[in-house]
Structure 1
C-alpha cells in the first residue's frame, strides 16, 4: 500500500500527517509526496520522514494531473490519497480504510473528515453532512473526496483522474467507476482532521472552482440563482439554530452568513454558464443537515501529536 500526498507549501501541516501515518497499527509501505514547487520546508520534511518526492511544475499543476503523477510513481496495489493538511485521529485509521477492500468489487473508499478549533462553524456543519457518523457500504451516488480516500491502483490505471478539471476529480472518477459497476464505500471509522484556514475570497473561489468542474461532470437537473439564494438563507438559519443549541451564537453571528454567502456566490459564479446539477448530489453539497448527531463506537487509540513536526494545534 502506498500513500499519495499532494503538497504545496505545507510545511506547517505535513509533519503532523506523516507522524500520524507512521503510528498506524497497519503500516503504509511507502509515501509519495507530489510537490508543486514549494518554497518552504515541505520537501525537507517529506525527505526527513523517508518519503519519495515527485516534483510537478507549477505551470503543469492541476488537481488531477498531480494525483496522476503520484499514483503513477506509487508501487502499492492500494493507493491511500490524503491531503497534506489532514491528519488521522486514531492509530487504527489505515486499518479501517483498507477494510472495504476485502471485497474484490470495492474500487474506491473514502473516509470521514472532521474539523478542529480553527474550522469555521458552517464548514463544521458541512463536514457533518458530507461525512456522517455511519458508514455506507456500496454507496449509490458518486460523492467522494480525495482529502481522505483510497483506490485500487488497477482501477486508477484504467480510469485515471481527469487532468483538465478545476476540481472534483474524485467525483468524476467515482462517477465513471460506478457506471462500470464498481463499488464505492464510505468509511466513517477512519476519520481525519481536515485543517482549513481560508479567507472569504478563498472560500468563494474554492466553491466557484468546484462548481465549474461540477457542471462539466454532471448534466441532469437545474440549479438556478434563485435556488442558490434560497439555500443560502436556509443554511444560514440552520447554522444559527445549531449555534444557539450549542451556546455558540455570539461567536458566530458574522462568520456564519459570511461563509454561506461566499459558498453560494462562488457556486452561482461557477454554474451560471451551465446551470445544471444532479439533485441527489445537490442535497449532499448544499442542503442543511437536519439530523441530530449520534455517538460512535470506540474507534481505537487517539494519536498524540504533541511532539510531532507541524503540531501547532
Structure 2
C-alpha cells in the first residue's frame, strides 16, 4: 500500500445526482486521502451539502472567479501533501484500487504527473465511447521529452478529470496558469516534459467518464481548444501541430462506428467538420469581435477578463 500523502481536489458547479456516486466511490478506496477538497462555484443545487455529508472540506468561491487553471492552483496550494489528485464532478472511480494505482506512479521520483484511464459511462453513445477508447488505451506508458518526436502533441495529453501531480514538480514549472480558457492540464504537462519530468499514463487506474456532446457543443469546445493553442503557441512549437492527431482520430472513429453504430456515421462526419472549423476559428480568435467569441465559446465567463 502506498505511503505517499495525497489530497483530492474537486471543483464543482451544480454537480447533480451523480456527484454522490463519485463520493461513494471515493469512500470505497483502499487508500485514504488526507483531505477531500471541494471548491464550489456557488452551486444552486445540493452539491455543497452532499459534499459536507461525506466529510469533504467545502471551499465556496464566486462563480465569476472560477478559472480552470487558477482554481486548481488554489486547491493545490491549500493542502500540505506530496501529491494532489484532481477529479471532475462527473466521474466515478471504477474500483477500489483506482486511487492507489495512480498514487503508486509517484514512487518513481522522476514522475511529475500521472493520469488514469477513462472508460465510457454505461449510457455513452458510440461517438462518446470511441473518444474514451481512442484517447485512453489499455496499456500504460511513461512519456518523456524523448517521446516528443514519436508522439508529437499527444505527448502533452493528460486530463484533469482524473490526474495527479507531484507538488514539488508543479511548483518547479510555475503551477497551473492563472487565466486559461481550458487545457490547464496540457499546459502543465508540456512544462513538465520540457523541464525533464516524466508524465505517467496509468491504464490500471480507472474511472468512468464520458460525454454525449451535441454537434454545437463540440464546435464550441474545439473553438476553446483552438483559443488555448493560439494563445499558448509555444506548445505547438515544441511538440508539433494537432491536425495530424485529429486525422488519426477520424479514421479510428469511422472504423469503430462501422462496427458499432453505422447510424452515427453521418453525425460523426458533421461533428468532425464542426470540430475542425471551431479549432481553426479559435486559433484566429484575435481577429474576431468579442461578442462573437462569447457566442462560440463554451467558457463564456473567460472573455470577461480577456479582451
Q: Per the shorter chain, which TM-score range?
A: 0.7 to 0.9
Using the TM superposition, give the Cα deviation of residue 236 of structure 1 relative to its aligned residue in structure 2, in angstroms: 5.2
Question: 2:69, 2:180 within 8 Å by CA — same for their partners in 1?
Answer: yes
Unmatched 5+ residue regions in structure 2?
Answer: 1-5, 148-154, 287-307
1:157 aligns with 2:171: yes
Using the TM superposition, give the Cα deviation of residue 53 of structure 1 relative to its aligned residue in structure 2, in angstroms: 1.0
> What is the number of residues matched between the two proteins?
268
Q: Aligned to 1:166, what secondary structure does the other structure show? A: coil
Distance 1:267 1:196 in 2: 19
The aligned residue for residue 249 of structure 1 is: 262
Using the TM superposition, give the Cα deviation of residue 146 of structure 1 relative to its aligned residue in structure 2, in angstroms: 0.8
Question: 2:52, 2:58 within 8 Å by CA — same for their partners in 1?
Answer: yes
Output one character per residue of 1:175-214: Cα deviation in whole Å (capped at 9) or x when no partner.
1112221121110001111142433322221111122112
What is the aligned counterpart of 1:144 among 158, 161, 177?
158
Distance 1:238 1:11 in 2: 33
Using the TM superposition, give the Cα deviation of residue 237 of structure 1 relative to its aligned residue in structure 2, in angstroms: 5.8
Distance 1:190 1:44 in 2: 28
Specify whether residues 107 and 266 from structure 1 end up closer, same or farther in structure 2 by C-alpha distance, changes over 3 A only.
Answer: same
Using the TM superposition, give the Cα deviation of residue 154 of structure 1 relative to its aligned residue in structure 2, in angstroms: 2.3
Distance 1:65 1:12 in 2: 27
Mapping 1:85-234, distance limit 5 Å: 85-139=90-144, 140=147, 141-158=155-172, 159-217=174-232, 218-220=235-237
Question: 1:35, 1:53 within 8 Å by CA — same for their partners in 2?
Answer: yes
Q: Aligned to 2:44, what secondary structure does the other structure show? A: coil
Specify whether residues 197 and 43 from structure 1 end up closer, same or farther in structure 2 by C-alpha distance, changes over 3 A only.
Answer: farther
Q: Aligned to 1:123, what secondary structure does the other structure show? A: helix
Question: 2:127, 2:257 within 8 Å by CA — same for their partners in 1?
Answer: no
Identify the structure with the greater helix proportion.
Answer: 2
The aligned residue for residue 303 of structure 1 is: none
Question: 1:121, 1:256 within 8 Å by CA — same for their partners in 2?
Answer: no
The aligned residue for residue 283 of structure 2 is: 271
Question: 2:105, 2:200 within 8 Å by CA — same for their partners in 1?
Answer: yes
Specify whether residues 47 and 197 from structure 1 end up closer, same or farther in structure 2 by C-alpha distance, changes over 3 A only.
Answer: farther
Q: Aligned to 2:176, what secondary structure does the other structure show? A: coil
Q: Aligned to 2:52, what secondary structure does the other structure show? A: helix
Distance 2:90 2:138 in 1: 21
Distance 1:214 1:127 in 2: 22
Distance 1:152 1:114 in 2: 24
Distance 2:137 2:200 in 1: 13
Distance 1:73 1:35 in 2: 14
Question: 1:21, 1:28 within 8 Å by CA — same for their partners in 2?
Answer: no
Distance 1:249 1:134 in 2: 27
Question: 1:235, 1:260 within 8 Å by CA — same for their partners in 2?
Answer: no
Using the TM superposition, give the Cα deviation of residue 222 of structure 1 relative to its aligned residue in structure 2, in angstroms: 8.0
The aligned residue for residue 19 of structure 1 is: 24
Distance 2:126 2:271 in 1: 9
